[in-house]
Amino acid sequence: MSQESIVPDELGDPALDPAEVPEPGAVTIVVPTFNESANVRQLLHRITESVPARLPCEVVFVDDSTDDTPEVVREAAQDCPFPVTVLHREEAVGGLGGAVVEGLKAASSDWVVVMDGDCQHPPSLVPELVARGERAGAELVVASRYIEGGSRAGLAGGYRVAVSRGATWLAKALFPRRLHGISDPMSGFFAVRRSAVTADVLKPLGYKILLELAVRSRPRTVTEVPFVFQDRFAGESKSTAKEGLRFLRHLAGLRTEAPFARMVVFGLIGLTGFLPNLAALWALTEAGMHYLPAEIVANQFGVAWNFLLIERLLFRERRLHRHWADRTARFALLANADLVLRLPLIALLVGRFGVAALPATALALVITFVLRFVGTEALVYLPRRTPKKSPVAHHQESR
């Protein structure tokens, strides 16, 4: 990742109104960009017009572009009365959210404001975001389109409006407590105290970084400021169906952070595995295979189905801990061991403890399900333990 700072010779003498913007009053504006060369000059011009006179600032562009956006930023920065830094990433890890995390790490101010590079977020609101945060003692200030005084006017077309509202409803339904007080969790325009965020705990996927930050960092106090979502100055929206799917995967990953939630999703995925299992059993028996070997073969179709969904939806972030072949073999072994364990367990409950067959079967299903979940998480998706070095060995290496 390359980095270049542009600091003009004449920084000017910005006037800070202490009554409007309480101390410390300095802000780092983080702008993630992807092929926004037609917009960055206008964005820096608007920041220059509305921010430095009220609030000392710096701007950090975190760029994933394949066009000349970094060069355009460097040229335009020469006319800015504040420092401008360009961080160009060769690999866009985490998408726009990952770029924001890099910007948070690079920020040097007490407050960080995140905004898009397409001029749909008005820079004139930056001082108000910081001032509102200081007055309220908040750790997060969200610029919201959905409170009185706000508007989503810049959303082009009914389709994008419907998608935005649907995504907002889904996020708030899944995280009612953590998103309490945030009317617009899909907003890409917000201010956060740098001390309230531990960048290393963030695992962004796609462009909804506010949702990631609110759920994982859990800021204690949140407030909002209304804003009017403006028309894009130039270029095309980066919101695509692919980004929508990434958002859904991100939601699933966030929601399954808690062990109980993971177990519930694990069970729901297991239930869907009955469909390919029964379909394969029907096809095999119709082809003339005896039902017992057909049941064993059909079970593998359900196992494969469950494995694919668990890989994509439940343990996506943990797949790198083991090779795919290792994960596949371990998962298949555990899933088939479930069948081997269940029948002796039912026989034990019925014969030894006098439990009736139906409740014994139900209890065995619950027990083997819990064991399979714990085994899958521990033996397939948790990282390998690395042996601790003895103090003697560590001492010898450090010599």
Q: How confident is the model over 19-30, as pLDDT tens digits?
A: 444 444 489 999
Q: Which position has the higher pLDDT, 254 or 14? A: 254
**What's the CA gap between 162 and 287, in Å, rounded?**
48
pLDDT for position 112: 94
Rounded mean pLDDT of 125-143? 93
**What's the CA gap between 78 and 94, in Å, rounded?**
30
DSSP-based three-state secondary structure for 359 = helix
pLDDT digits (tens, 9 = 90+) for 143-181: 998 898 888 766 655 656 677 777 788 878 888 888 888
pLDDT for position 43: 94
Rounded mean pLDDT of 203-219? 75
Maximum distance among all alpha carbons in the chain?
Answer: 89
Tokens coding 275: 């469909």
Q: Which of 92-101, 128-137, 231-240, 348-357 has the lowest mean pLDDT?
A: 231-240
pTM exceeds 0.85 for this model = no
CA distances from 391 to 384, 386, 387, 397, 399 (A): 21, 15, 12, 10, 12
DSSP 37: T
Tokens coding 295: 């049941």
Give DSSP secondary structure letters for 246-268.
HHHHHHHHHHT-SHHHHHHHHHH
Helices (H) and strands (E) in the chain, counts: 13, 8
- In the sheet with 222-226, reading across from the earlier edge strand, the strands are 2-6, 84-88, 57-63, 27-33, 111-114, 190-193, 140-144, 222-226
DSSP-based three-state secondary structure for 289 = coil
Q: Which position has the higher pLDDT, 216 or 244? A: 216
pLDDT at 242 over 70: no
Quick check: bond before 83 cis, omega within 30? no
Dihedral sign of CA atoms 78, 60, 28, 96 in order: positive
pLDDT for position 241: 61
DSSP-based three-state secondary structure for 217 = helix
pLDDT at 8 over 60: no
pLDDT for position 207: 62
Share of the chain above pLDDT 90, in %: 23
**What's the CA gap between 188 and 247, in Å, rounded?**
14
Residue 99 near residue 92, CB atoms below 8 Å: yes
Distance of CA 351 to the CA centre of its chain: 50
Amino acid at 164: S
Residue 20 near residue 127, CB atoms below 8 Å: yes
pLDDT at 384 over 70: no
Q: What does the mean pLDDT of the chain come to?
A: 80
pLDDT for position 267: 86
Please state the φ and ψ torsions of residue 98, each to the nearest 5 degrees. -65, -35
Question: What is the CATH code for 2-255?
Answer: 3.90.550.10
